[in-house]
A and B are shown apart, each in its own frame.
Chain A
Amino acid sequence: MSIWLASNPWLTVVYGIIVLAIVACVVVFTPWSIALFTFREGLRKKTLIGFLILSILVIFGSMFMTAMMYDTGGTVATDVDVKLIKDICITAVSIFGVLIAIFISASVVPTEIENKVIYTVLSKPVRRFQYLLGKFVGVQITVLVNLLLMGVLFSIALYIKEPIFPRMLLYSIFLTYFEFLIVSAFTFAVAAASTSAVLPTIAGLFIYITGNLTQYLESVVNRSEVSENAADKALGWIAWVLRYTLPDLQNFSLKTQILGLQINDTPKDIQIPNLVVYGMLYALAGYIIAYWVFRRKEL
């Protein structure tokens, strides 16, 4: 079955309707001027530019590293060489990409509160939910553009070493965006309740790290079930709560397949519609929480 279809046709239709409904609402209700303004502002944030430059250095640095390995011995096999580039680049895209997503999601609203720009915006005929939606969409455009840029550079780096179409990489970038979308939405929700970017940044990092440790959380739960120790039980309970409330971000990772398979292969054992709907619903939940805390927030 195609990875673009859900496990049964009706589910595919339902998922399609959910995705279309969310996209249509975003397109209709977003004040695009606020979104574009946020995007333009985001591109000028020094922290983001710093992360982007670092990621570019790491991506192209990986090529130089493999070139040096050739020079020293000439014994390194081409597939090991490509594997090293893939490993370094995927890690760079994930780490720098998520840092960009967290920092921008954490700062857009608190910064506008701090410098009072929000006063002039909300004194206009702009509802709070529209303001937040504009900001959120602006953040997503920034995250997406940064991710695409890193993806293109990654593809170029790979293509130079192995001139084949990097299909697997494109799938990975696509799914990574939905992982970032979830992290970004929850960081944004915490930011909507904060007056500084520090707490939401910490919260975003927590969600990203914990969301990628679901297997570990499960093993903690399992161990606590057989343990008699009260501390283990308490830890197990916390791990259980985290496991079933926080998103499972490991689902979005194709790292093992990228490293193990050919770069022009199609990924196996994934259902993209499930992951897209999963990501969008978590993002929607994040936005609803953000609006809930922001609608009566005193500015």
Chain B
Amino acid sequence: MSAVIETQDLRKVYKGISKAQDVVALDSLTLQVNEGEIFGYLGPNGSGKTTTIKLLLSLIFPNSGTMKIMGNPNITAPEVRKNIGYLPEGAYYPDFLRGEEILRYYGSLYGMKGPSLAKRIDEVLEIVGMSRARKRLIRGYSKGMRQRIGLAQALLSDPGILILDEPTTGLDPVARKEIRDLLITLRDQGKSLLISSHELLEVELISDRVGILFEGVLQTSGTIDELLTRREFTIKAEEAVPEAIQKTREAGLAPEDAAAGRVVFRVPENMSLYQALDICKAQNMKIVSVAPRRETLEEVFVRVVGSAVKNKEAQRGEN
């Protein structure tokens, strides 16, 4: 599978008044988004996700490193730009225009005009489910409708690459599901999507590959299956009195949740399932269920970021 977006050792420093105030937003970022995949780009606030996107769009410029889009190092070339659709986070669309007028404006920036532009506007409005609201002024749109219009403008040139910054933020559950389904459809049509998001569950549901960024450094990346390798067991038990729960804790099996005599244990890595069951039985608990579970992306994210924070603090301690 060929890469449509590639960065190599990308570094971006935001200059402060003095050198001590410089902020390293990205450090040696080597990233690859492949053709026809959804790449989930994750990271806490200020980790460098939007900086990466701005660099790819030449809204800001790197201090070092290289970028290629569709194999072309000249990422501002018109043929490259025509192949990119971009939805910024929380973008504003002039509210004195109607939905179709704003699309006509953006379409004209691609050099589209006349019947072909009108046809394409009809198509993208249909894709994002906004055909009925096309004549309404944007000031009367809900947040979800504005996001859909934003997505429509990103799709106008029928680009091969879509860069979406927080595409579902602030949307209600139904709208989220619809946008999610739309993104999967676009991927199935062969488009490549780079999605920056805080919505870990959604990213897990739709992404083929994921990268986790923290303080400008790509901590890990891979397919969902590669990242979610940890298998764990949970044990649900009843008739667990507080003293018994305390004893299991002392034995190394801490409860994840406990209420009204019911308790849930997650078997730790250093303990076998049989050992955990024996501890429960020794406290006369009634085992209700034993279930294997896979680590979620949220847990991977918390673990990776937590580990990065610890490493950073350890480095500071050494210095």
List chain A positions with a Cβ less than 8 A from chain B: 31, 33-34, 37, 40-41, 44, 115-117, 119-127, 296, 298-299
A122 vs B59: C-alpha distance in the bound complex, in angstroms?
7
B143 to chain A, nearest CB (A): 15
Q: Are the C-beta atoms of B84 and A123 separated by less than 8 Å?
A: yes
Residue of B nearest to A33 (CB): B108
Q: Are the C-beta atoms of A120 and B88 separated by less than 8 Å?
A: yes
Contacts of A41 in B (CB 8 A): 94, 96
Q: Are the C-beta atoms of B109 and A31 separated by less than 8 Å?
A: yes
Contacts of A125 in B (CB 8 A): 78, 81-82, 109-111
The answer to whether B60 has its CB under 8 Å from any CB of chain A is yes
How many residues does chain B have at the interface if contact means C-beta atoms less than 8 Å apart?
29
Residue of A nearest to B88 (CB): A119
Contacts of B106 in A (CB 8 A): 120-121, 124
A296 vs B82: C-alpha distance in the bound complex, in angstroms?
21
A115 vs B157: C-alpha distance in the bound complex, in angstroms?
23
Q: Are the C-beta atoms of A117 and B92 separated by less than 8 Å?
A: yes
Closest 8 CB pairs of A and B: A33-B108, A115-B92, A125-B78, A125-B81, A123-B86, A124-B109, A298-B60, A299-B59
Q: Are the C-beta atoms of B96 and A119 separated by less than 8 Å?
A: no
Given that A33-B105, A125-B82, A125-B111 are known contacts, is A119 also in contact with B57, CB under 8 Å in the complex? Answer: yes
A117 vs B78: C-alpha distance in the bound complex, in angstroms?
19
List chain B positions with a Cβ less than 8 A from chain A: 54, 57-61, 76, 78, 81-82, 84, 86, 88, 90-94, 96, 105-106, 108-111, 150, 153, 157, 163
B50 to chain A, nearest CB (A): 10
Q: Known A-B contacts: A117-B93, A117-B94. Give 8 more (CB < 8 A).
A: A33-B108, A33-B109, A41-B94, A116-B90, A119-B91, A122-B59, A298-B59, A299-B60
A241 to chain B, nearest CB (A): 28
- Provide a sorted-by-A list of 24 A–B residue pairs whose CB atoms are within 8 angstroms: A31-B108, A31-B109, A33-B105, A37-B94, A40-B96, A116-B88, A116-B91, A116-B92, A117-B91, A119-B86, A121-B106, A123-B59, A123-B84, A123-B86, A124-B109, A124-B110, A125-B109, A125-B110, A125-B111, A126-B109, A298-B60, A298-B61, A299-B54, A299-B59
Residue of A nearest to B94 (CB): A41
**Given A34, A44, A116, which contacts B109 in the complex, CB threshold below 8 Å?**
A34
Contacts of A31 in B (CB 8 A): 108-109
Q: Number of residue pairs across A and B with beta carbons under 8 Å?
A: 66
A44 vs B96: C-alpha distance in the bound complex, in angstroms?
8
A167 vs B192: C-alpha distance in the bound complex, in angstroms?
63
Residue of A nearest to B89 (CB): A116
Given that A124-B109, A125-B109 are known contacts, is A119 also in contact with B59, CB under 8 Å in the complex? Answer: yes
Residue of B nearest to A31 (CB): B109
**Given A33, A124, A296, which contacts B61 in the complex, CB threshold below 8 Å?**
A296
Q: Name, among B60, B109, B111, the residue most crowded by chain A CB atoms within 10 Å (CB to CB).
A: B109
Contacts of B108 in A (CB 8 A): 31, 33
Contacts of A117 in B (CB 8 A): 91-94
Contacts of A121 in B (CB 8 A): 106, 109
Residue of A nearest to B107 (CB): A33
A7 to chain B, nearest CB (A): 44
A199 to chain B, nearest CB (A): 18
B8 to chain A, nearest CB (A): 21
Q: Name, among A40, A116, A299, the residue most crowded by chain B CB atoms within 10 Å (CB to CB).
A: A116
Contacts of A296 in B (CB 8 A): 61
A115 vs B58: C-alpha distance in the bound complex, in angstroms?
18
Q: Are the C-beta atoms of A123 and B81 separated by less than 8 Å?
A: yes
A240 vs B57: C-alpha distance in the bound complex, in angstroms?
44
A299 to chain B, nearest CB (A): 4
A37 vs B106: C-alpha distance in the bound complex, in angstroms?
10
A126 vs B61: C-alpha distance in the bound complex, in angstroms?
17
Q: Are the C-beta atoms of B86 and A120 separated by less than 8 Å?
A: yes
Contacts of B91 in A (CB 8 A): 115-117, 119-120
Residue of A nearest to B97 (CB): A40
A31 vs B112: C-alpha distance in the bound complex, in angstroms?
12
A40 vs B96: C-alpha distance in the bound complex, in angstroms?
9
Q: Are the C-beta atoms of B105 and A37 separated by less than 8 Å?
A: yes
A116 vs B54: C-alpha distance in the bound complex, in angstroms?
12
A189 vs B150: C-alpha distance in the bound complex, in angstroms?
30
Q: Name, among B57, B59, B150, the residue most crowded by chain A CB atoms within 10 Å (CB to CB).
A: B59
Residue of A nearest to B86 (CB): A123
B223 to chain A, nearest CB (A): 28
B248 to chain A, nearest CB (A): 53
A283 to chain B, nearest CB (A): 25
A298 vs B60: C-alpha distance in the bound complex, in angstroms?
5
Contacts of B92 in A (CB 8 A): 115-117
Residue of B nearest to A119 (CB): B88
